[in-house]
Each structure stands twice: as structure tokens, then as C-alpha cells.
Amino acid sequence: MSQEKSAPRMIGESASFLEMQEHISHVAPLNKPVLFVGERGTGKELVAARLHYLSQRWEQTFLKINCAAMSETLLEAQLFGHEAGAYTGATKQRKGFFERAHGGTLFLDKLANTAMAVQEKILRVIEYGEFERLGGNETLTVDVRIIAATNEDLPDLASLGRFREDLLDRLAFDVVTLPPLRERAEDILILAEHFAVGMVKEIGGEFFAGFSDKVEKALCKYSWPGNIRELKNVIERAVYQNGEGHITQLVFNPFESPFRLKASAKTLASENSGPDKRSLVASPDLSATDSFDFKNEVQQFEINLLNQAMEQNQFNQKKAAEFLNLSYHQLRGYLRKYDLLN
């Protein structure tokens, strides 16, 4: 089996995608840390796997761990292992991910969520290849290439004292930024068809009949805040609902329903009681009109909300994004959608 055949397949032909692919191929042969930065759903885990299989370590172990999925103590035990009796329930010695990935690659996803003490130990492994298991005194040596990923602004977190600057310096040997799907317009229909064909096979079908023109336009117009993961869900849902037939409609939000549960008035009042949670835009009075242009009103609502949020935060996009509970890139996408970027 060749090295190239082992690398996970990535699909796309947009300029930003091909540039990212070239970047990965360029850095893959080096035994240096790499940091992937991108919004949720952009495929950071897939890209990390591809980098590993294009590297000189491609025949060795590739392990991955979600740093946000466990507590500090559990994450530390998973990464560095533990001796018997290290903590309650540790009845026997266990090797951690660093030991198990010796000679290969370890992918640390959602690294921004790690505690400072764990970050310090990771830094030591990067710099010296050394660590001790929890509850142990023996210093162990490993040869592991570290690939990390985040959807957070690590330099910003470092400036706030929430991420170690020295660890960021070591991880930033090379930073690969994954483009969001809305910046890969040429790839949307290619990926959609790929996911559709796969789902047809999964439900036992033989042939994908394609998308209607209306659906293709909707796919290309949508902003895809959840990126490739969201696209995959939308397409697989459509195929499941339509079978092998021509896809003529999509459900972008499966929670939309006339019977959808609403937050209680008490909860909403509590959430909106603080100065930063008050309503910025009044709801329209439907009793004063015979008809209502829903799409236009929603667009105007979003535009007004964006303008007011930007003004309230002195046109600082990062602060406005935090205020609206959006990522920086999501806010930029909305501003670009409505031509509000200066």
C-alpha cells in the first residue's frame, strides 16, 4: 500500500482549498508541530490525518484526542498515563496517548480548552520529549509529532493569560488556516453530490438522481455556519427523506416546527436582565398589517442587529462577535453577506 493511497481523501477545487492542500503537503515531511485553525466543521481532524499520512511517520501510529471532552485530571491521565494508585480507581498502570503514539503522530483537538498545568506538560514534551506518568517518578522519553487544532483565537487567549505564550510559540512553527465553506463556493455542489451518493448507498439505493435547480441555488446561497459538517447533515437528511428521488427541497434547520418548545418568559427575562443581554431590535407588530414579507424582515432584522452590535462595541469586530455569541469568522461572514464590511 503506497503512502499516497493511505492519506484520507479530501474533495475540492476552489483556490482556497487547493492552497491549503499545498500548504499541508509542504509542511508534512517535517518533524515539527503544526497548528490547524478553523471554524467548527471545517475538517480539522481529516486534515490532520492527511498530514500524518503524507509525513515520514505514515506507517506509524496516528492517535487523536478531544481535549475539551474531559476534565483536567482525566485529560492529564489520558495524555501522560498513570501508575497504579495514582488516584481513586487507578488500579493498574496505564500508558497514555504520548507513550502509545511513540514514533508517530498525536492530534490534540480543541487545545484551547486545556488547563494551564496540562499545557505546561505538553510544552515539556514538545521541547524535550520528556514526561512522567501521574503518580510516577520515572522520566519517560518519547518521539511524537504533535498536531494541534483550535477554533479559538489563541494569540488573543494568550494575551488574556488563558493560554501559555511559550506553548503557542512552539505550536506556531507553522499555522494552517482552514477556509470556511462559504469561502469555498466552487466546492459546495461537489461536496454535496459526494455526500448524497454516499447516503444513497447507505440506504441501499443504486443511483443518485441529482438536485433540482432550486436546491442547487439554495445550497450555494446559504452561509453554512456549521461548514462541511453541516452540509453533510443537510444533504444526508435530504436523501433520507427523498430516497433515490430527485432532491427538490432541503431542511437547513431540523428544529423548525410550529410546535417547537420555547424558552419560558421567566428564563428570557432572566437572560435579558443584564446590560449586555437586552434586546437590541424590537419585534414587528403583525396585527398592523395584512401581509408580511418574512424573508425581507429577517434580513432587515439581521442587518439592524449587526449594525447596532457593531456600534455598541465601537466597531470592534472581535468584541461584536463575542457580544452576539458568534465566532469572529461567523460575524465576518454575516457582514460580508450584507455588504457591511468597510
Stretch 21-40: mean pLDDT: 96
Domain membership flag for residue 212:
yes
Name the residue with cell 471532552: 69
Pair 158, 30 in one domain: yes
pLDDT at 290: 59
Q: What pLDDT does 342 receive?
A: 57
221: domain CATH number is 1.10.8.60
- Of 96-110, 163-177, 278-292, 305-319, minimum mean pLDDT range: 278-292
For residue 8, is it within any domain?
yes
> 318 is in which domain, residue-wise?
292-342
Q: b/e per residue, 35-51, with b = 16+ CB within 10 A?
A: bbbbbbbbbbbebbbbb
Q: Is 81 helix (H, G, I), strand (E, B) or coil?
A: coil
Phi, psi angle pair for 88, to nearest 5°: -60, 125
Whole-number pLDDT of residue 130: 97
Give the chain's length: 342
226 and 127 both lie in a single domain: no
DSSP for 4-25, please give it: HHHSPP----SHHHHHHHHHHH
Give the span between the Cα atoms of 169 and 30, in whole angstroms: 17
- 143 located within any domain: yes
Q: Which of 152-166, 225-239, 320-334 is least confident? A: 320-334
pLDDT at 299: 79
Nearest to 38 by CA among 217, 184, 237, 246: 184
Asked if pLDDT for residue 48 goes beyond 80, the answer is yes
On whether residue 257 sits in a domain, the answer given is no
Which pLDDT does position 36 carry in this prediction? 98
With respect to residue 81, please indicate whether it lies within any of the assigned structural domains: yes
Kindly give, in sequence order, each residue whose CB lies less than 8 Å from that of residue 169, ignoring residues fewer than 6 positions away.
none
Torsion of CA 118, 122, 125, 126, to 10 degrees: -160
Whether residue 164 sits in one domain with residue 225: no
Please tell me whether residues 94 and 164 are part of one structural domain: yes
Distance CA 241, CA 238 (A): 5
Q: Tell whether 104 and 64 lie within a shared domain.
A: yes
Report the share of the chain in percent with pLDDT over 70. 88
* One-letter amino acid of 76: E
According to DSSP, the β-strands at 130-132 and 139-141 are antiparallel
Mean pLDDT of 50-69: 95
Q: Indicate whether 29 pLDDT > 80.
A: yes
pLDDT reading at 3 higher than 50:
no
> 58 and 123 share a domain?
yes
Q: Which of 177, 204, 234 is the last residue of a domain?
A: 177
Same domain, 24 and 108: yes
CATH number at residue 17: 3.40.50.300
Position 252 in a domain: no
> What distance lies between CA 317 and its chain's CA centroid?
20
Query: Is residue 70 domain-shared with residue 101, that is, in the same domain?
Result: yes
pLDDT of residue 278: 46
pLDDT classification of 283: cutoffs 50, 70, 90: low
The partner residues of 211 in beta bridges, in order of sequence, read: 247
Q: Per-residue confidence at 192, pLDDT binned at 50, 70, 90?
A: very high
C-beta atoms surrounding 211 within 10 Å: 21
Instruction: Locate 114 and state its grid cell.
Output: 486545556
Q: Are residues 223 and 169 in the same domain?
A: no
Average predicted confidence (pLDDT) for the chain: 87
The answer to whether residue 5 scores a pLDDT higher than 50 is no
Residues 189 and 312 in one domain: no
Model confidence pLDDT, tens digit, residues 70-122: 889 899 999 999 998 887 777 889 999 999 999 999 999 999 999 999 999 99
The count of domains in the chain is 3
CA distance 311 to 279: 15
Domain boundary among 121, 151, 177: 177
Whether 172 and 193 share a structural domain: no
- CA dihedral of 245, 246, 252, 253, whole degrees rounded to 10: -30
More confident residue, 13 or 322: 13
Is residue 223 domain-shared with residue 298, that is, in the same domain?
no
What CATH number corresponds to the domain at position 325?
1.10.10
Tell me whether residue 31 is in a domain.
yes
More reliable by pLDDT, 294 or 41: 41
Q: Does residue 210 sit within a domain?
A: yes
Query: What single letter denotes the amino acid at residue 137?
Result: N
Domain finish residue from 124, 158, 177: 177
Q: In this predicted structure, what is the pLDDT of residue 312?
A: 82
